[in-house]
A and B are shown apart, each in its own frame.
Chain A
Amino acid sequence: MKKLGVRSVIAVPYIWLLMFFLVPFLIVFKISFSEMQYSIPPYTDLVSWADEVLTINLNLGTYAYLINDDLYIRAYMSSVRIAFFATVCALLVGYPIAYAIARADTATRNALLMLVMLPSWTSFLIRIYAWVGILKNNGLINNGLMGIGIIDEPIAMLNTEFAVYLGIVYAYLPFMVLPIYTNLVKLDNSLLEASADLGCSPFKTFMRVTLPLSKAGIIAGCMLVFIPSVGEFVIPEMLGGAETLMIGKVLWQEFFNNRDWPVASAVAIVMLLLLLVPITFFHRYQARELES
């Protein structure tokens, strides 16, 4: 009886995840090997059975197409590049904030932490939309600068790569601050005192003690920003221009505009392979945190 109870506690979430998380990926993988056709659903079957002949059609054409059309390779490369530099910027902005919060006394700390998290509880879409009004040609920054006569012509900021960087750093900053803070706040103070007693300057103590000890937090924060940014759709769609190529947007267009499900699936599979290393990295950290 007891065994049954334990088993069902494991089984319910396990089966749900298998069904709605793992199986869907296998289906994406399967469809990436089929061909597009005008029917419902708009792809061919891999296995067919007719006249007592079992035919398996594995169409590698979609992957060949992804390699041959340089749009996809450029989109993958620029997604990784944009996500990488945006992550670096988020780290440079986020680390000092996390550090400052960890140094505050307990009451202030909780309030500051709440203030960092609050924006991410409001709509992501609306926070990105807010930047459209600030950055556009007749937006607040350009109107302000032209009003006081610093510039005569508006600076193009919306629909540029700069706007995409800004959007990613803005939207994902809390996910950088939180894990670094969690790590810094656990830091043993006696280690810092020991370093100071042994004659290290505050800067040297930071570089040789604080920074290495907060490595786990930095890795978690960077992964939480980098991985979703690679496949980001809303930010390049709303803030980026035609020349800002990102793979999430390409996948969206293949699916919704071209209705080419096999190509969309192949794009997703390659993106997943690309993200496999960072995702495993993140898992190891997360599994340690969850099970310790």
Chain B
Amino acid sequence: MQTGKLSNWSKWFLSLGFFFLYAPIVILVIFSFNKSELVTVWAGFSFKWYGELFRDPQMLGAAWISLKIAVLAASAAVVLGTMASIVMVRMGAFKGKTAFTSMITAPLVMPEVITGLSLLLLFVAMGQTLGWPGQRGMLTIWIAHVTFCTAFVAVVISSRLQELDESIEEAAQDLGAPPWKVFFLVTLPIIAPALISGWLLAFTLSLDDLVIASFVSGPGATTLPMQVFSSVRMGMSPQINALATIIIGLASVAVLIAWWFARREGMRSVKI
């Protein structure tokens, strides 16, 4: 497509689009510094809701549980997602490949209520017949998150694998490297940026999930979105605005890091 200076029409569309996307977020951030109890009436600048947030043991406990699950789920999803991408991109046809590709892409669009219900019923049935998992909680949420995050990670990594020149791997193979050595010394370093952005994507997806976690969780494992949802149902609270501001800040930093990696990668490929 022809690139260059943007026409006036394009500028209009972009400004309107970005206004629509960002205005609600900016408003949320502004009102997190509001002194008043009322979320929509400005009464002066204050940090008091941040203080309240950090003194709320339920919120902090839920945040800690969510972070632990997100780190563990993202790490497992990157391993499984990488394996799945290699199967899809690098391995030729095999029996059941279509089924495999379908199972990888289906979680991308599957309504969350269906995924959540089906996994819960699986865990209940397993508990009845195998006696495991005896209790639902962090472990079952982790399994559910790994399953749907793997799909997203596989999409990110396989698009990178497709761009990768296969002749580099072939060269290593011709020089006598066994397949595992080719993978760890040649392929993995090249796709590392995709692994990092896949990990970050899985991490945020896990941290963000309300519906699936609500189904598969048990007593004692309340994640941050579950905690936020139950407090939002009671009505609006400036404390949630403060939490939102922190999440938005962290997400911006994560995206900037991912973007920086992608850019560095882009510049390197230009040099070659």
Q: Residue-by-residue, is B136-173 near A (CB-CB < 8 Å gives 1, otherwise 0)?
A: 00000001101100100001001100100000000000
Decide: A13 near B118, CB < 8 A? Known: A20-B143, A234-B210, A287-B98.
Answer: no
Interface check A245, CB cutoff 8 A: no
With a cutoff of 8 Å between Cβ atoms, the chain A residues found around residue B254 in the complex are: 121
Q: Which of B187-221 contact A (CB under 8 A)?
A: 204, 207-208, 210-211, 214-215
Does A150 touch B at the CB level, under 8 Å? no
The residues of A that contact B13 with a CB separation of less than 8 Å are 96-97, 99-100
Least CB distance, B18 to chain A, in whole angstroms: 6
Asked if B68 lies at the interface with its beta carbon under 8 angstroms from chain A, I say: no
Within the assembled complex, what's the spacing in Å between the Cα atoms of A271 and B112? 12
Residue B107 is within 8 A (CB to CB) of chain A in the complex: yes
Known: A5-B180, A129-B244, A252-B113. 5 other contacts (CB 8 A): A9-B91, A21-B147, A116-B17, A279-B106, A283-B105
User: Within the assembled complex, what's the spacing in Å between the Cα atoms of A131 and B25?
Assistant: 9
The verdict on A184 contacting chain B, using a C-beta distance below 8 Å, is yes
| Chain B residues within CB distance 8 Å of chain A | 1-4, 6-7, 9-11, 13-14, 17-18, 20-22, 24-25, 27-28, 31, 39-41, 80-81, 83-84, 86-89, 91, 94, 96, 98, 100-114, 117-119, 121-122, 124-125, 128, 143-144, 146-147, 150, 155, 158-159, 162, 179-180, 204, 207-208, 210-211, 214-215, 225, 228-229, 232, 236, 240, 243-244, 247-248, 251-252, 254-255, 259, 262-263, 266
User: Is B119 a contact partner of A133 (Cβ separation < 8 A)?
Assistant: no
Give Cα distance in the complex from A122 to B249, angstroms: 9
- Docked-complex contact B94 and A10, CB < 8 angstroms: yes
CB-CB < 8 A to A97: which residues of B?
13-14, 17
Chain A, interface SS category: helix
Q: Which residues of A contact B150 (CB under 8 A)?
A: 13, 16-17
B228 CB to nearest chain A CB (Å): 6
Query: Is A66 interfacial (CB-CB < 8 Å)?
Result: no
A interface list, Cβ under 8 A from B: 2, 5-6, 9-10, 12-14, 16-18, 20-25, 27-28, 31, 41, 93, 96-97, 99-106, 108-110, 112, 114-119, 121-127, 129-134, 136, 138-140, 143, 170, 173, 184-187, 189, 192, 223-224, 227-228, 230-234, 238, 248, 251-252, 255-256, 261, 264-265, 268, 271-272, 275, 279, 282-283, 286-287, 289-292
Nearest 9 pairs between A and B by C-beta? A231-B111, A24-B118, A100-B10, A130-B24, A96-B13, A227-B109, A24-B122, A17-B103, A13-B84
Residues of chain B within 8 A of A279, CB atoms compared: 106, 109-110
- Residues of chain A within 8 A (CB-CB) of B225 are 123, 125
Q: Is the CB of A134 within 8 A of B24?
A: yes
Residue of B1, B31, B179, B229 most packed against chain A (CB within 10 A) = B1
Closest to A18 in B: B103
27 intermolecular pairs with C-beta atoms under 8 Å apart: A9-B91, A14-B96, A22-B103, A24-B121, A28-B117, A28-B118, A41-B128, A103-B10, A104-B6, A110-B263, A114-B255, A115-B21, A121-B204, A122-B244, A125-B228, A126-B28, A130-B24, A132-B232, A134-B27, A136-B40, A192-B1, A232-B111, A234-B210, A248-B111, A265-B117, A268-B118, A287-B98
A123 with B25: CB separation less than 8 A:
no
**Complex: how many Å from CA A50 to CA B105?**
43
Distance from A89 Cβ to chain B, minimum over Cβ atoms (Å): 11
Residues of B within 8 A of A251 (CB): 113-114, 117
Contact of A185 with B1 in the complex, beta carbons under 8 Å: yes
- Complex Cα distance, B252 from A189, in Å, reads 34
Q: Contact at B80–A12, with CB atoms within 8 Å?
A: yes
Q: Is the CB of A170 within 8 A of B20?
A: yes
| Partner pick for A41 among B6, B124, B214, CB 8 A cutoff | B124
The chain B residue sitting closest to A140, CB to CB, is: B40
> A99 and B240: CB pair below 8 A?
no
Measured between beta carbons, the chain A residues less than 8 angstroms from B3 are 102-106, 109
Question: Known interface pairs A24-B119, A234-B211. Does A170 touch B24 (Cβ–Cβ under 8 Å)?
Answer: yes
Contact indicator B14/A112 (Cβ below 8 Å): yes
Complex contact B259–A114 (CB within 8 A): yes
Partner of B109, one of A123, A136, A282: A282
Q: Is the CB of B114 within 8 A of A118?
A: no
Is B111 touching A230 in the complex (CB atoms < 8 A)? yes
